[in-house]
A and B are shown apart, each in its own frame.
Chain A
Amino acid sequence: MNESNIKGEDIVERLDRFDELPDAPPRKRIKLSWVGKLAALVVAAWLVIVAIGPSIAPFHQMDFAGDDGFLPGDGEFLLGTDYLGRDTFSRILWGARTTIGISLLSTLGAYLIGITLGIAAAVRGGWTDTIISRINDAILSLPTIMLGLIAIAAFGSSIPILIIMAAVIYATSVFRIARALALDIMVQDFVESARARGEGTWWIVTREILPNAAMPLATDFGLRLVFVVLFISSLSFLGLGVQPPTADWGSMVRENLQGLPYGSYASIWPAVAIGSFTIAINLIVDDVSAESGGSLARKMV
């Protein structure tokens, strides 16, 4: 009972030649949804402003340009003025560099520390792992904002100290993820195979482990950056972060809070800036992790 319209001989010949599918499946690429694309546009715009913001701003961040505080927006002061009569629009453009710049540097620092220690702990194992992990747990158990307050009380508040402090605090979560990822990858056969070949630790870390951890770590970088932006902004809001008169989105919200009862938007605009940047990054991360499956989400829990 031969029901097929393919000739058996054809198939057998095909099997003899290739034994399997000769075609490569299409390479997987990350595709953003339209929301993701919009978010990417927002983030890109903010990054451009970080680079050229101060030079396109109509006023200097410390320029008392307006005659009065809390002026509504008009042709000259696009978003009005703040409590001291400075141009809110210009200060947001200037503040992008402070807020995003500090956060980026802190997050990069956190990654440098976290990945180095995380992979070291995973590769060395034993006592090294135990000691680093327990210290990490201890730091992780304290609320970040508390830690920040203590550090500022001890060292005072300056931009370098803010960066170092945020880097150390956020390195703890990066450490956790990097260590978990590295442990997962280390037990894979291809790592054992490299070990059996006689490869050194450096090769194994840089060629076998890191490339495979890169994607989940990159996704996490976005999230971590958002946390740092919010952290720096909260500190500034409390008056402990970036000090006046430097423009910073967090401190701008606080400074102008008193204008809210008078209908001034001066504290809303910097909040919108923080919101747009952080939400946009979140949306991109969502898209990327949806592509790379739920494995990342599981690891981050």
Chain B
Amino acid sequence: MEKLLEIKDLKIEARREDGTPIPIVKGVSFDVHKGQVVALIGESGSGKTTISLSALAYTKPGLEFAGGEVRLHGEDLLTAEPLRQRDLRGRKVAYLAQSAAATFNPAITIGEQVTESAVLHGILTQDEANARAERLYRSLELPDPDRIGNRYPHQVSGGQLQRLMAAMALCGKPDLMVLDEPTTALDVTTQIEVLKAFKKVIHEENAAAIYVTHDLAVVAQIADYIVVLYGGEVMEQGSAEQIINNPGHAYTRKLMEAVRPKPAAGLGTVVTGEHDRDIAALVVKDMSAGYGRKLNGEPAVTVLRDINVKVENGHVVGVIGESGCGKSTLARVMAGLLPQAAGEVVLDGENLEADLQDRSRDELRKVQFVYQMADTALNPRQRIDDIIGRPLEFYHGVKGRERQQRVQEILEMVELPAEFGARYPAELSGGQKQRINLARSLAASPEVLLCDEVTSALDSIVGANVIKLLNNLKDKTGVSFVFISHDLSTVASFADEIVVLYAGRVVEQGPTDQVLTPPYHPYTRLLISSVPELRIGWLEDTVELREMAVGIAKGVEITDVGCPFYNRCPSAIEGTCDITDAPVRQLAEGHEIACHLDVSDLQLKISHEASAG
């Protein structure tokens, strides 16, 4: 195989104010061959993005190359003239950023942006570039390939935009693509569609790629060669097969542990009944909610319809669904941040006012909301002491020395040292901030804790530790949790009951073990089979499945009548599912599925389980 890119003993440094260097990348070497996908894997701070950018002879501001070589076709990029470097960027090496939404200019059509670089570098004329772009749209399986170029970025979905970005990078026929976490922000179902398209197009174009990610399961699907990084050093490198099936380094094994197992029955904790009381902690009855000005009692956009959810005392209810299905809206209604349009929220048997301004202080205390982004949820101008101390003072009237004492106890509860009290949020790492975020809610001594995607912004290992902490807290405090996530594996490992939301409706709910075993709602089946496995070849097996073919090709449509999943359901019954609302079937104690299909039809196993078994 032809050696395309050769990175040899690469060193990159930052400088302190006094001029002493801080090594960021400490002598990394690896090669990229033609037609090969090399994955750089590691947590944040491992230097993976910094290394990948060196393939473009680029460093982020404040960093500098301190040694080593980056050779493309044998030519050292680091010592090349700036003009030569610029010439190579975009022509020989293309970069795909993590967020497609931030990469595209919203005011210019997609086609113009996709072809711009190729035309600018004089590789193709505008007409040739347009023709090539159209071919790429086709092989990336984008809808309407001859016209999608005329659309603006906001007129396509997130997954499509991510694929269009790949078209943009490939348009100038680069030898090497650098992909920086291109699927991290996507839902599992969208991730499959993007991965599949990337893999196909890289193969067709015979391009090479550097794929940066922290997700081993994704790497297993797309990479030929894996480089495991930690703290700017290579821990281990080798072929994908070797690293995945036979990891040599303890750190790689640690990363593997953080990949949560495929959601299946038996992973969730079994409720002991220890904290149970007669009355459910929080009940949502026939609730609808939405945004925008109300007309005749109906909001302009209805996001949730006829929701019935019960949170038993001391239980963990997991809420899952793709982005935009109304998960966060549900939690916001429970917290009173968004008054519902219809229905009731009942706390400890008492009806709660819709608007939080009308709720009593004690009612507010009992329901606490934990935000997804700890960065914005903590006031940057308050010390940790004050952030945690305020709810104590506000709800419990605890002041002075006693408050200080309690703050320290709570810090200990979230496994942080007591000295952290004197710090500001900016002086903590991401995982530590998330712990403070939790600690603030715990300080109120709540009965129900609403956790909105609390681990989504964290690295896999850090996220796993936060889940471990939540499990401890549940046992220690007896608090009930509503745990919202788009990550089914996380939910499965933590929740006692699962609520599956789709386009604002509950399509299935019940105890974790029952939701994760047949009979499945067709959507639940799609979700479960979309969770990537740490197994080479999983992607190919999965996209073969019938439900995948139907399910990942189309987007969510919010409908007023009929089953919202109709357009993506492999078993949809024409003339029934699209016209009448799905009946709610009681399958077992507390297990409900909203579907027109008979229970026997829902018994279907996940197809490859069936075929494998």
Q: A19-B431, A20-B430, A198-B356 are in contact. Are A190 and B394 (CB under 8 A)?
A: no
Q: A8-B235, A21-B429, A208-B379 are in contact. Are A192 and B337 (CB under 8 A)?
A: yes
Report how far A167 CA is from B254 CA in the complex, Å: 63
Q: Report B379 CB to chain A, min CB distance, Å.
A: 4
Q: Quick check: is A211 within 8 A (CB to CB) of the other chain?
A: yes
Report how far A224 CA is from B231 CA in the complex, Å: 47
Q: Quick check: is B490 within 8 A (CB to CB) of the other chain?
A: no
Query: Which residues 233-284 of B have a CB within 8 angstroms of A?
Result: 233-238, 248-254
Q: Is the CB of A190 within 8 A of B379?
A: yes
> Given B45, B234, B428, B429, which contacts A4 in the complex, CB threshold below 8 Å?
B234
Q: Quick check: is B580 within 8 A (CB to CB) of the other chain?
A: no
Report how far A21 CA is from B424 CA in the complex, Å: 15
Q: A19-B462, A20-B430 are in contact. Are A196 and B336 (CB under 8 A)?
A: yes
Q: Quick check: is A24 within 8 A (CB to CB) of the other chain?
A: yes
Closest to B362 in A: A198
B359 contact set on A, CB distance < 8 A: 198
Q: Is the CB of B379 within 8 A of A20?
A: no
B230 contact set on A, CB distance < 8 A: 4, 6, 11
Q: Is the CB of B236 within 8 A of A3?
A: yes
> Given B45, B250, B440, which contacts A12 in the complex, CB threshold below 8 Å?
B250
Report how far A21 CA is from B429 CA in the complex, Å: 7
Q: Quick check: is B60 within 8 A (CB to CB) of the other chain?
A: no
Closest to B364 in A: A198
Q: Is the CB of A196 within 8 A of B335?
A: yes
Q: Is the CB of B378 within 8 A of A190?
A: yes
Q: Is the CB of A21 within 8 A of B235?
A: no
Closest to A192 in B: B337
Query: Which residues 8-22 of A have a CB within 8 angstroms of B?
Result: 8-9, 11-12, 15, 19-21
Query: Which residues 176-205 of A have a CB within 8 angstroms of B?
Result: 188-190, 192-193, 195-199
Report how far A27 CA is from B428 CA in the complex, Å: 11
Q: Quick check: is A261 within 8 A (CB to CB) of the other chain?
A: no
Q: Is the CB of A193 within 8 A of B377?
A: yes
How many chain B residues sit at the interface, stated as a range, is: 35 or more
A190 contact set on B, CB distance < 8 A: 376-379
> Given B249, B252, B381, which contacts A212 in the complex, CB threshold below 8 Å?
B381
> Given A1, A28, A196, A212, which contacts B236 in the complex, CB threshold below 8 Å?
A1
Q: Quick check: is B155 within 8 A (CB to CB) of the other chain?
A: no
Q: Is the CB of B364 within 8 A of A196?
A: yes
Q: Quick check: is B361 within 8 A (CB to CB) of the other chain?
A: yes
> Which of B235, B238, B379 has the most CB atoms of chain A within a 10 A radius of its CB?
B379
Report how far A188 CA is from B462 CA in the complex, Å: 24
Q: Is the CB of B381 within 8 A of A2?
A: no
Report how far A207 CA is from B389 CA in the complex, Å: 14
Q: Is the CB of B394 within 8 A of A197?
A: yes
Query: Which residues 435-457 of B have a CB within 8 angstroms of A?
Result: 440, 444
A11 contact set on B, CB distance < 8 A: 230-231, 235, 250-251, 254
Q: Quick check: is B369 within 8 A (CB to CB) of the other chain?
A: yes
B233 contact set on A, CB distance < 8 A: 4-6
A214 contact set on B, CB distance < 8 A: 381
Q: Report A30 CB to chain B, min CB distance, Å.
A: 13
Q: Is the CB of B249 within 8 A of A196?
A: no
Q: A12-B251, A188-B376 are in contact. Are A198 and B361 (CB under 8 A)?
A: yes
Query: Which residues 398-434 of B have a CB within 8 angstroms of A?
Result: 423-424, 426-432
Q: Quick check: is A126 within 8 A (CB to CB) of the other chain?
A: no
Q: Quick check: is B67 within 8 A (CB to CB) of the other chain?
A: no
B124 contact set on A, CB distance < 8 A: none
Q: Is the CB of B432 within 8 A of A20?
A: yes
**Interface residues as binary, B307-341 with A (CB distance below 8 Å gives 1, 0 otherwise):** 00000000000000000000000000001110000
B390 contact set on A, CB distance < 8 A: 197
- Provide a sorted-by-A list of 6 A–B residue pairs whose CB atoms are within 8 angstroms: A3-B235, A6-B230, A28-B426, A208-B379, A212-B380, A214-B381
Query: Which residues from chain B sit less than 8 Å from chain A, CB to CB?
Result: 45, 230-231, 233-238, 248-254, 335-337, 356, 359, 361, 364, 368-369, 371, 373, 376-382, 390-391, 394-395, 423-424, 426-432, 440, 444, 461-462, 465
- Minimum-distance CB pairs A-B, first 8: A8-B250, A211-B381, A24-B427, A20-B429, A189-B377, A190-B379, A189-B376, A198-B364
- Given A2-B235, A3-B235, A214-B381, list of 11 further CB < 8 A pairs? A3-B234, A4-B249, A6-B231, A9-B250, A11-B254, A20-B462, A24-B427, A25-B426, A198-B394, A199-B394, A212-B380
